[in-house]
Amino acid sequence: MRKLERSDLLSLETYAAQRAQLRASAYAHKRTRTLHLGDHFTLLFEDRITVQAQVQEMLRIERIFEPAGIQDELDAYNPLIPDGDNLKATLLIEYPDASVRATELTRLHGIERRLYAQVDGCAPRIAHADEDLDRSDESKTSAVHFLRFQFAPADIAALRTGAVLHFGVDDARLPLRKTASPTLRAALLADFD
């Protein structure tokens, strides 16, 4: 999947004029790329559209219009765009109550390295977490992680012929497994083009 370039972005003025419509469209797109893995774990699978929406919002919020600043944002977010043999996702660990969240993030220390993707008939693919920087410390995990699921050619070939795709957490503290819906599977399959 092609990375974003400055020429792909709207000016701040143009984005402001179209923002409501663009955000509604991006939100609808994100819904088709979201998997609620459990009550408290959500995977948002990133692609060029989700990343462009994020970059446009960051440029707007930070009022960035200088070429170097725009390039910094592109350099920060482009790694979230799939490379053709992987899926990239943002993991959100969500507990609405702050005290429960603090307790659970401590209890689940390191859990981001226990997530996996699995195509039926193939080996599980353990997520590579936070390759840009470690978001956890010695005693607790973060509420947000960036994941890469690297697939073998056989995995991708099986998906293209209709194999089912699962995601899960292989950890006794919070064992989870969920099958991607046909809509999500179709959206993710396009990431391998």
Which residue is associated with the tokens 């707007």? 60
- pLDDT tens digits, one per residue of 38-66: 999 999 999 999 999 999 999 999 999 99
pLDDT tens, position by position, 138-166: 889 999 999 999 999 999 999 999 999 99
Tokens for 134?
């470690």
User: What residue spans define the domains of the chain?
Assistant: 6-33+47-80, 86-192
Q: Name the residue among 137, 162, 159 with its Cα closest to residue 149.
A: 159
